[in-house]
Structure 1
Amino acid sequence: MNQYEKIYKRTLACMLSLFIGGMFSINILTSNKLFSDSENRNLEQLPKFSIQNLLEKQYTPSYEKYISDQFAFRDFWISMKSDIDRTIGKKENNGVYIGKSGFLLQKFNKPEDQDVKSKIEAINVFHLANPNVQQHIMLVPTAISILENKLPNYVSQVNEVTYIDKVKKSLNKEINFIDVYPILSSKKNEYIYYKTDHHWTTKGAYYAYLELSKNMKFTPNPIESFNIKNITNSFYGSLYSKAGFRHIDPDSIEIYEPMEAIKYKVDYVDEDKTSRSLYEMNNIKKKDKYTVFFNGNHPLVKITTENTNGKKLLVVKDSYANALLPFLLSHFSEIHIIDLRYYNDNLNMFIQKNKIDQMLLLYNANTFFEDSSITDLSE
């Protein structure tokens, strides 16, 4: 080994030692963070040591998660990994595809046949138990079915629409299935899904509202009757947090406010809170800006409007409904909103007590096939 090789290796070893020592010192001196804005989740905190936790092999995994979550400049390293992944042509991370034009698309996982059958049976049983309630179902295809042209090349994807059709064909014929695939597909060149989030945009929800009006037999409000307000241009959604891909343009969020104001009251029943607005505008300052709609998800919400037609609607839903519900205010006297993931009371008794006329089951397809709480309908 010549003199230059020795100098090179010693210099390299010295630089590596300085880097490791520096990072070790920074990690010790840096205070722990409680929350990651970019990942939209709570970070692991230092686990409490005990001999029992150590022997039961609980301490070491928790400590490894703690070190990973609290590592200095974590966001920088994640961003660097994202750049490397994209450079080498990686197409998927953590169940999210990085598509064309900067779109992030949530992968659809094939559901188990028995799970699908159980949910269909639960819906049919619920219908038979409530024969006087006109029932509608809307299963919304996610972006991966509508924006197939945005998928990366050579990606083979399970057909989400096939499973939606399976549900449609298996339902009791008296249940009204609202197929929004055609109208969403015809508008796929418009901004109807967020790029960084799994939800549809307010415009996408508006097109579904038009389809809903045909099935529920009410006259929809034309788009010209709304004041469309852009409330943010810096929304990074759930898929951005989940995938870890960085250097992607943020989304914007719009709300459609009727030019002729409708008086209403929103009761968050379980929280014992009342509001005069469907929107929590302070959430625009937070990471999860989609919670501007209804301040997120709740077990039970009741909207009472000035409409005197006496019609009462129950919406059983996931978060996709949050952007569509504001369009329904002018068509019903009362709208009751239930999220089965958090609601524990008997739904049949709720319908009888509140004299519900119509019910809308509204889910995006991905949540519908993954969420087991839907089977609670038959209980």
Structure 2
Amino acid sequence: MPESLKEFLGIEDDKKLKGTSNKNLNSKKIQKKRPSNATKSQDSNSKKSVSSKRNKVSKDKLKSGGKTNSGVKKKSGSRTPKNIEISSPSSTRKTKSSSSKINDSKKRMTANSSTVRMNKNSKNVEVKGKTKSNVKKNRKDINRKVNSNKRGSVRKKVSRDKNKKKPNILQLILYGIFVFFGFLITGGDKTKYISKEKKSEFDYRFHRNFSLVFIAFVIFVMVLNIIKPNAQTSVAENRDLQQRPKISTSKISDGKFASDYSKYMSDQFIGRSKFIKLKSKFDLLLGKKEINGVYIAKNDYLMEGFKKADDNVTNMKIDSINIFARSNPKLKVSVMVAPNKVEIYKHLLPKNIPVDSQVDYLNSIREKLDPKIKFIDLVDTFERNKNSDELYFKTDHHWTTDGAYLAYVEFCKKQNLEPVNIKSFDKSLASDSFRGSLYYKNGAQIGKPDSLHLYLTQANKPVIVKYYDTKLKVPSLYDVDKLDGRDPYEVFTGGNHTQIKIRTNIDTDRRLLLVKDSYANAMLPFLVDNFSEINIVDLRYFTGSMKDIIHNNDVTDVLLMYNVNTFNLDSSILSLNE
């Protein structure tokens, strides 16, 4: 088509048309972000109206040959631009101005066609020609809304975090219990019994609070150990406790001070006896039948086990006795080693207890003693009477007065003495709440209390008892004040002493030297009826000379009397010949 006709008709170049179409396409792409049926229909209607107007103008011009009459009527429904004026072909200037005006109107129409307006039920949305500025504004609006939404969500999270309740002390305690049992059941996998959301928070608070409480407890215990008074003895262990050692450069240099202070802290630790008792009771709950060397037997009996010492040690003790008998040929020497209840009442022990036979041990002693020495065997006598008489205390390692009387009778038979009839005594109950050494030694302090009886003479047989260590002389073999003490068995002679002399009014020349342990204390009330004088020596505490006692007191009879456990474990009898 010629350029003049294109200019006359107002048709633009193809490239320009493509540019405008591309612009329209871009505007459509932007509109795709908000798709709606109303906008699509209006876009299509606007395109049709613009194209119909262009075709109509071009047809009118072609029909008139480029001329239009001013009197031509406009068709109904057609829309013509306001500023377009159609002039006659006589004036070229007018045609030029009219064509320029048509071009301007065309440009306006193309610009107006890029804007779409929504009326009636649709919202008033306008897509303007300047799409870049509108996109920037839309992006700013979108960013503003997104930021406002983010702020709102953050505020909601903060408010939610504030509304979350922190776990209280009760929850932490329950959590600690769950941790403990969870460790026992699941091996410490806390996710099996608590949610993952609370696990980290609970762990932090629990471990922090536990650490603080533990540190406070350690400091509290240290302060109490410093300010509390020191205990002198341990009832549960029946021994003296370590006292605070004195500081000296020599003790510090050789390490003795550190060792003594460690023992002191161990012995004087606050609540030590209660911890021992608690531990022993826990052992019982676990089914243990032996606690601190004490067996929990049937019929409420508490028994110590027996493990015989090395044969060389036993042979040395027997040799010491044989040498003593050979050194004093005029003396009537006898040996009594009393069996313990672990041998006599062994049928009451729990099954499979590793206890050595005391019968075999006693037989080995008898076989190795000098034939001149009389060995007093009590096993057969005790076996015959164990069901009729209560020969041993259930909570103590000693025998009762009934057991002591049977041993006294067997001694009299060996030494050709007439034993006192049991009916000549009045059996009196001294205590019905006797708790002996094994009751305290087991730690748990279990066992029913025993009854302690005394055999008092009916006839008036005065005695004078002299204690060499305390310098006391008393007219009785009993110390009744000990019945209210920790060990009521000490009622006999007030307990153990280094040396005691008893004088009686018995008309006889026989004088007895008794080398003994605590078992002999309960037999003394019977022996005073057969000797005019009895000298008692406990080699565990005695530091004098046995020869002096024998020569100064005209001793005629010697009795070495021990229970099996003491003879087996104690080595004091090795000093018999010093």
**Normalising by structure 2, what TM-score?**
0.61
In structure 2, relative to structure 1, the CA distance for the partners of 1:268 and 1:29 (3 Å cut) is closer
Pairing 1:254–2:449 present? no
Q: Residue type matched to 1:210 in 2?
A: V
1:3 aligns with 2:198: yes
After superposition, give the CA deviation of every residue in 1:39-73 in whole Å (9 maximum; x if it has no partner).
Answer: 33333233334565344333333333323322222
Contact 1:107 1:144 in 2 (8 A): yes
Match of 1:79 among 277, 293, 301: 277
Cα deviation, residue 171, structure 1 = 1.5
Corresponding residue of 1:160: 358
* Distance of aligned partners of 1:59 and 1:324 in 2 relative to their CA distance in 1, 3 Å threshold: same
| Structure 2: unaligned runs, 5 residues or longer | 1-195
Cα distance in 1, alignment partners of residues 197 and 213 from structure 2: 20
Does the 8 A contact of 2:302 with 2:447 survive in 1?
no
Candidates 526, 530, 540, aligned match of 1:331: 530
Residue 33 of structure 2 is matched in structure 1 by: none
2:311 equivalent to 1:113: yes
C-alpha distance in structure 1 between counterparts of 2:248 and 2:320, whole Å: 46
**Shift, 1:101, TM fit:** 3.1
1:301 to 500, 516, 520: 500
Shift of 1:102: 3.2
Matches within 5 A, 1:254-273: 254-273=453-472
> Would the alpha carbon gap of residues 28 and 61 (structure 1) be closer, same or farther in structure 2, given more than 3 Å must change?
same
Structure 2 equivalent of residue 285 of structure 1 = 484
Confirm or deny: 8 A CA contact 2:236 2:441 kept in the other structure.
no
| Residues in 1 aligned to 2:226 and 2:471: alpha-carbon distance in whole angstroms | 44
Give runs of aligned pairs for residues 231-242 of structure 1, distance below 5 A: 231-242=430-441
The answer for unaligned runs of 5 or more in structure 1 is none
Asked whether 1:140 is paired with 2:335, we answer: no
RCO greater where, 1 or 2, for CA within 8 Å and sep 6 or more? Answer: 1
SS state at 1:152 partner: coil
- For residues 83 and 154 of structure 1, the distance between their equivalents in structure 2, rounded to whole angstroms, comes to 22
Match of 1:174 among 372, 381, 401: 372
Q: Which residue in 2 is equivalent to 1:230?
A: 429
Counterpart of 1:108 in structure 2: which amino acid? Answer: F
- The alignment partner of 1:335 has SS state of strand
2:415 to 196, 216, 227: 216
Q: Kindly tell me: are residues 344 and 16 of structure 1, through their superposed partners in 2, closer, same or farther at Cα, counting changes over 3 Å?
A: closer
Match 2:568 to one of 363, 369, 372 = 369
Going from structure 1 to structure 2, the CA distance change for 1:11 and 1:219 (only over 3 Å counts) comes to same
Could you tell me how far 1:188 is from its partner in structure 2?
Answer: 2.4
**Residue type matched to 2:313 in 1?**
D
Query: 1:40 touches 1:287 (CA, 8 Å); kept in 2?
Result: no
Contact 1:340 1:376 in 2 (8 A): yes
Q: How far apart are 1:25 and its partner, in Å? A: 4.5
> Residue in 1 aligned with 2:78?
none
Amino acid in the other structure paired with 1:53: K
CA contact under 8 A between 1:266 and 1:302: conserved in structure 2?
yes
Matches within 5 A, 1:45-60: 45-50=243-248, 52-60=250-258
SS in 1 for 2:576: helix
Task: Quote the offset at 1:12 in angstroms.
Answer: 5.1
* Aligned-partner Cα distance in 2 for 1:345–1:26: 45
- Larger displacement relative to structure 2 (22-31 or 72-81): 22-31
For the 8 Å contact 1:266–1:278, the answer to whether it is kept is yes
Q: 1:191 aligns with which of 386, 390, 400?
A: 390
Deviations 1:333-355 (A, max 9, x none): 11121222233333234323322
Check conservation: 1:129, 1:348, Cα contact below 8 A. Answer: no
SS, match of residue 105 in structure 1: strand
1:245 has 2:245 as partner: no
Could you say which structure has the higher helix fraction? 2
Identify which range, 315-324 or 128-137, moves more after superposition: 128-137
Which stretch of structure 1 is more off in the superposition, 222-231 or 68-77?
Answer: 68-77
Secondary structure of the residue that 2:477 maps to in structure 1? coil
Q: Give the percent of matched residue pairs that are identical in Structure 1 and Structure 2.
A: 39
* Structure 2 CA distance for aligned equivalents of residues 154 and 2 of structure 1: 54
Please say which of residues 201-210 and 231-240 is displaced more in the overlay: 231-240
Question: CA shift at 1:290, angstroms?
Answer: 1.8
Equivalent residue letter for 1:359? V
Aligned in 2, Cα 1:60/1:376: closer, same or farther, shift over 3 Å?
closer
Asked if 2 retains the 8 angstrom alpha-carbon contact of 1:40 and 1:288, the reply is no
Residue 49 and residue 200 in structure 1: after superposition, are their counterparts in 2 closer, same or farther (change >3 A)?
Answer: same
Q: TM-score, normalised by structure 1?
A: 0.91
Range 30-39 or range 125-134, more displaced = 30-39
Q: SS at 1:199's partner residue?
A: coil
SS in structure 1 of the partner of residue 413 of structure 2 = helix
After superposition, give the CA deviation of every residue in 1:160-218 in whole Å (9 maximum; x if it has no partner).
22111111112122221111111112222332112222211111101111222222222
Q: 1:28 offset after TM fit, Å?
A: 4.1
1:131 and 2:329 matched: yes
Instruction: State the distance in 2 between where 1:238 and 1:32 align.
Output: 23
What amino acid is the match of 1:222?
Answer: N
CA contact (8 A) 2:546 2:577 kept: no
- Mapped to 2, the partners of 1:136 and 1:28 lie a distance apart of 54
Q: Which of 539, 542, 545 is equivalent to 1:340?
A: 539
Q: Give the 3 Å change call, closer, same or farther, for CA 36–371 of structure 1 in structure 2.
A: closer
Amino acid at match of 2:413: K
1: CA distance between counterparts of 2:403 and 2:342? 14
| Bigger radius of gyration among the two | 2
Distance 1:248 1:15, change over 3 A: farther
1:262-285 per-residue CA deviation (whole Å, 9 max, x = no partner) reads 111112235432110101111122
Partner letter of residue 41 of structure 1? R
SS at match of 1:2: helix
Judged with a 3 Å threshold, the aligned counterparts in structure 2 of structure 1 residues 17 and 100 are, in CA distance, closer, same or farther, namely: farther
Aligned counterparts of 1:101 and 1:236: Cα–Cα separation in 2:
16
Distance in 2, Cα, partners of 1:334 & 1:49: 50
Whichever residue aligns with residue 352 of structure 2, its letter is Y
CA change 1:341–1:247 in 2 (3 A) is closer
Higher strand share: 1
